Structure formats: C-alpha cells, structure tokens
Amino acid sequence: MTDPLSTGAVGPLASQTVWFGVALSDLWFGVVFAFLAIFLFLDGWDFGVGAIFALRGRTARNATESERRRCEREREQCLAAIGPFWDGNEVWLVVFGGGLFAAFPAVYAALFSRHYLLLFGVLAALVLRGMAPEFYEQREDRRWRTWWGRAFAAGSVGAPFLLGVFAGNWLLGVSGVAPASLGIGLAVVALNVAAGAAFLRLKTTGPLAEAMPDYGVRATAAYLALVSVALVLLALRPAMRDALLSPAPIALVAGSVLLAGGYVVAARRGYPYVTLGAAGGLTGALVSLVAVLLYPVVEPGTGLTVEEAIIGAPAVELLTAGAALLIPLVLTYFGVLYSAFSGPIDPEESY
C-alpha cells in the first residue's frame, strides 16, 4: 500500500461495481470533488463578501460621521446579501466531508488525521465566520460590532486560505506546510474575493455595488498571478511536472486564463451574471486541476487509488442510489431559495 507503483496491480478489480458503464469508484471520486467545487464557489462568494466587508468597511480614525454611516450601511448590505444563503451554501462542505467519509473512509481517516492542526484551524475559522454575522446583529454599539466584524473578516479569509493549503497538501501527499500549498491557499482567497465581488454587484445597490467591478478585476489578476506562482512551485517536483504537462491540466490552465479574461470583460461591461459565472468556471477549473493531477490515486500520502479506497459493493450501491435520489431534491431547494431572493437585497430585510 505504501508503494504507489505496485498498487494498481493488486487493486480489487474484480469487485469493482460498474453502473451504466461508469465505475462507482470513479463516480464517487468525481462526486466528492464536485461537492468541493460547489462549496468553494457558493460559500466562496460568502467568504469573498467577508473579505470585502473588511476592505470596504474600514474608516479612518478621524472619519466624519457621514463617512462612518456609509461604512455601517455598506457592512449591513454585505451581511444582508449573504444572509439567506450562507447556511445552505456551507452545507456543501458538510456533504463534501460526509461524502469523502462515506465513499472513501480510509482516505478521510488518513487525510484528516494527518492534517490534524490544519483542520482545527479551518474549523476555528469556520466557527468565527459562522457565528459572527449572527452575533454582529445582536447589538448596535460600536465596540461590539467592531469585534464581531473583525471575527467575521478573519474567519472569511482564514477558512478559504487554510482549505487551499489543505487541498495543496492533499495533492502533494505531504503533511507539513509546502510553499506550493501556501500559494494555493492565497490563490483561493483571491478567487473568493472575485466571486464575492461579482455576487455583491448582483445583490446590492448604490456605491457598494458600483465599486465591485474594480475589486473583482484586481482579485482576478491577483488570482492568476498566485496560481502561476503555485504552479511553478508544484512543477519543481519532477513527478508533478510530468503530470502537469499532460493535455488535461494544460487545457484547464489555458481555460482558466480565458475565464479570467472573460471575468474582466464582463465586469467592465456590466454583465453581472456572466461575471459570476466566470468566477464559478475558475473555481471549477481549479478543483478539477487538483482532481486530474491526483487521479487515479486519491491519497498520495498512502498511495491509495480510487479502486482500493472505495467501500464495498453493497454499501457503495446504496450510497449511490441515495445520492441519486437526493441531489435533484437538493437542487430544487436551492432553486426555491435563490428565486425567492432574486434581485438586490435590502439591509432592512431580516426576520
């Protein structure tokens, strides 16, 4: 199990379950990464809104009262924009964890126990991010709001950064903190800011909404730069260089450059849905890149392949049937939610 080269031959090929021509192990590999991508896009814009909340909501020490009030209002707008959605968006992380646990328990166990402290960092950031908006609203005094605002921003930046580092470490099969992983972490933060800016452009009005294309364009440029650095750092490892130079990764990188261009054009010309879509495409491309570079191995740290790590036949069939029934329902719920709150959201709307 420790030698990645020999594992293909001893994998339990005979017990592989195939539905409609797709091996269920491959299907679940795809599903787990799809959950991750959806999470990183949907909750990613919530994280991005948190970062913008901090950037836009700063006031100078000697700011005028009207300046303070504008900031206060824009912070309310940021919170109102994500208010109805972020709970639902965050569940994609829960199903990513649950899906990985259910389909590839050995991978879940190995990855999570190896990145022990890193994951507790992720949790701490998510706890801050999850509680802060709820607590922020509870009192109106300035000190309370300053502190919960900080907690919200720290969680919103910390969670995607650490998740990016986690994804990088997963890809490399290492447990410490690799420079390439740090690059991926920062890139994810920039990507989320781009998505958050596109989302706020859609969901708010006034000066905040008008400022968003600028934020988004800068974040997208930063994303491209950071991803390039991360790719160079990855390519320093010979095995990874070979993997990167195959058609699928090249196509994904090229696609990302095109999508980033699309984001900038759409943001500048004022097509908010296209802008948001481009941010989604960038997120999908990034997660796909990680998945493509891994496959058919699912945990480089132990060398486990998807075929070796997948659970037994009856269990995986049951899980697949359950997911096939439930995912369309989940998408319906999201349809109801997002259509109920279509258009800009007024900060006054709550409870």
Partner 1 sequence: MVDPATASRLQFAVTTIVHIVFPVMSMGLAPFLVYFTWKEVRTGESLYERLRRFWTKIFAVSFAVGTVTGLVLEFEFGTNFAAFSAAAGELFGGPLAVEGMMAFFLEATFLGVFVFGRERVSDRLYFVSSLMVGLGTWLSAVWILVANSWMQTPRGFEVARQSGEMTILLTDPIAAYANPRFPWMFVHMQNAAVLSVALFMAGVGAYHVYRRRHLGVVDGGNLDAEFWRATLKVALVALIITAPLQVIHGDAYGRHVAETQPQKFAAMEAVWETDSYVPEYIVAFPTSVDDLLNPRAKDIFGIGIPGGASWLASGGNPQAEITGLEEFEGSPPVAVVFWSFRAMVALGFWFVLLAFWAGYRWWTGELFEDRLLQKALMASSVLGIFGVELGWIVTEVGRQPWVIQGVMKTTEGVSPGLTATEATLTLAGFVGGYAVLLSLYTYVVGRLIRRGPKVEDGESLPDPVRDRAPAPTPTEVSEDD
Residues that bind partner 1 (CB under 8 A): 83-85, 87-88, 90-91, 93-95, 97-99, 101-106, 108-117, 119-120, 122-124, 126-127, 130-131, 133-135, 138-141, 311-312, 314-315, 318-319, 322-323, 326-327, 329-330, 333-334, 336-337, 340-341, 345, 349-351
User: Least distance to partner 1 from the beta carbon of 339, Å?
Assistant: 9
Return d(Cα 20, Cα 31) in angstroms, integer. Answer: 16
Closest CB to partner 1 among residues 247, 328: 328
- H helices of 173-271, in order, are 179-203, 207-235, 238-244, 247-269
Tell me the CA distances in angstroms from 185 to 9, 113, 171, one per residue in order.
Answer: 35, 20, 13
Nearest C-alpha neighbor of 53 from the set 200, 198, 191: 200
User: Least distance to partner 1 from the beta carbon of 345, Å?
Assistant: 8
Q: Is the dihedral of CA 338, 260, 204, 76 positive or negative?
A: positive
Nearest C-alpha neighbor of 211 from the set 13, 338, 74: 74
Closest CB to partner 1 among residues 105, 255: 105
Closest CB to partner 1 among residues 222, 315: 315
User: Least distance to partner 1 from the beta carbon of 274, Å?
Assistant: 25
User: Least distance to partner 1 from the beta carbon of 129, Å?
Assistant: 8
User: Least distance to partner 1 from the beta carbon of 310, Å?
Assistant: 10
User: Least distance to partner 1 from the beta carbon of 117, Å?
Assistant: 6
User: Least distance to partner 1 from the beta carbon of 106, Å?
Assistant: 5
Tell me the CA distances in angstroms from 188 to 99, 101, 321, one per residue in order.
Answer: 22, 24, 33
Rg from Cα positions in the chain:
21
Tell me the CA distances in angstroms from 227 to 93, 232, 277, 299, one per residue in order.
Answer: 23, 9, 19, 22
Exposure string for 222-243, b = 16+ CB within 10 A, e = fewer: bbbebbebbbebbeeeeebeeb
Closest CB to partner 1 among residues 166, 223: 166
User: Least distance to partner 1 from the beta carbon of 246, Å?
Assistant: 31
Closest CB to partner 1 among residues 103, 234: 103
Closest CB to partner 1 among residues 74, 299: 299
User: Least distance to partner 1 from the beta carbon of 2, Å?
Assistant: 12
Give yes or no for a contact between 152 and 199, defined as CB atoms under 8 angstroms apart: no
Nearest C-alpha neighbor of 128 from the set 175, 160, 92: 160
Closest CB to partner 1 among residues 53, 223: 53
Return d(Cα 24, Cα 21) in angstroms, integer. Answer: 9
Closest CB to partner 1 among residues 14, 340: 340
Exposure string for 165-201, b = 16+ CB within 10 A, e = fewer: bbbbbbbbbbeeebebbbbbbbbbbbbbbbbbbbbbb
Closest CB to partner 1 among residues 27, 211: 27
